[in-house]
Amino acid sequence: MKKQALTNIAQMWRKKQIIKTEVQEALGEYNLSETAEDIYVYAATTKVCIAHIRQNNYFASKSFSTIKRAVLELKACGLIKHQEDTVDRRVFWLIPTQEN
């Protein structure tokens, strides 16, 4: 591997660690699973439903049931709510709550 590639990887790793620490500080009181934390951050950055989470490459290694459990965990903590789609009533969008 080229030296520049290793340097870039090291920089990305440091950034990932900083972001992970910030997320854990913000959500630490809830004692969430790592998958739930990742889904919360993803839902906070874009309009998302469970199907979108499942299709995202980042969550490719997670089973559907693990994703569903994480979403239920977030709902139980009051960190997200769901909103029914106006066109397709089978789709429920995951919306982070504003209080948190």
What is the domain count for the chain?
1
Give the model confidence (pLDDT) of 46-95 as tens digits.
999 999 999 999 999 999 999 999 999 999 999 999 998 899 888 999 99
Q: Any idea what the CATH number is for the domain that residue 60 is in? A: 1.10.10.10
Instruction: List the domain range (segments joined by +) for residue 14.
Output: 3-96
- pTM recorded for the entire structure: 0.80
Give the model confidence (pLDDT) of 14-59 as tens digits.
998 998 888 888 888 898 999 999 999 999 999 999 999 999 999 9
Give which of 69, 61, 57 is closest to 33, Cα–Cα. Answer: 69
